[in-house]
Structure 1
Amino acid sequence: MSANTKELKSFTSFAEFYPYYLAEHSDKTCRRLHLVGSLLVLATLGTAVFTQNWSLLWLLPVIGYGFAWVGHFFFEKNKPATFKNPLYSFIGDWVMAKDLLLGRIPL
């Protein structure tokens, strides 16, 4: 199945989607930028909760998607999976971050 055909496919589970998601993140710099964005999102969320500065929450999507989209547009040279599969892509970001931190995917 070609990449374009698979892109148009409707995924019925996250387990089915995740291999596709990983294939869309083959560039190490893209993966690293995703991880940096995810860790900064956690740090910003923690800071907002700890300081009760709720105005920081608007930064979460800017940071998370900003780092990821730079990785896709400039390094991976593809469109983020978020555009076609937003929920599975969001879950994939966190599963991939966990897998990167555990060494299951190379940094």
Structure 2
Amino acid sequence: MEEFWAFYVSQHSNPWTRRWHFIGTLSGLLCVLFAAVSGVWAFVVASPLLGYGLAWYSHFFVEGNVPATFGHPFWSLLCDFRMFGLMLTGNMDKEIKRLGKRPVLQEFHTEDNE
């Protein structure tokens, strides 16, 4: 997880990419919460559309890269929630500094970690 996390953070170097992700994740979570409270389960369908839609927009039009979700959906989702939590608590900048400017593989391969 830690090696993929370093790769994930490198793919979110632009602060606006991280902000779009935060808005997408928050919107997705609010959709699920609203669905649970209201019983309007169509909002569950809206959740990934909003969450991924805003995140993918940020990769294609802000960061200029391909979303890591395409190659690693499970790890990307876990890392997105980790990034969301760090941003929510104000610790994402500290995490970026912790990771520093160490070289990160341009592409993360799961077979390298098996």
The TM-score by the shorter chain falls in which range?
Answer: 0.7 to 0.9
In the other structure, the counterpart of 2:49 is: 62
Alignment pair present for 1:36 and 2:43: no
Q: Secondary structure of 1:103's match?
A: coil
Equivalent residue, structure 2, for 1:74: 61
TM-score by length of 2: 0.79
1:50 pairs with 2:6 = no
Task: Kindly state the Cα deviation for residue 102 of structure 1 after the two structures are TM-superposed.
Answer: 1.4
Cα distance in 1 for residues equivalent to 2:12 and 2:83: 9
Structure 2: where are the runs of 5+ without partners?
Answer: 94-114
SS of the residue 1:96 aligns to: helix
Over the matched positions of the two proteins, sequence identity in percent amounts to: 37
Deviation track 1:64-102 (CA, whole Å, cap 9, x = no partner) reads 100101110011000000011110001011000001111
Letter of the 1:71 counterpart: S
> In structure 2, what is the equivalent of residue 10 of structure 1?
none
User: RMSD of the TM alignment (CA)?
Assistant: 0.8
Partners of 1:15 and 1:29 in 2: how far apart? 23
- 2:40 and 2:85 map into 1 onto residues whose CA distance is 27
CA distance, structure 2, for counterparts of residue 43 and residue 55 of structure 1 = 13
Which of 84, 101, 110 is the equivalent residue of 1:97? 84
| CA deviation vs aligned residue, 1:32-54 (integer Å, no higher than 9, x gap) | 00000111111111100000111
Deviation at 1:16, TM superposition (A): 1.6
Question: What is the total number of aligned residue pairs between the two structures?
Answer: 93
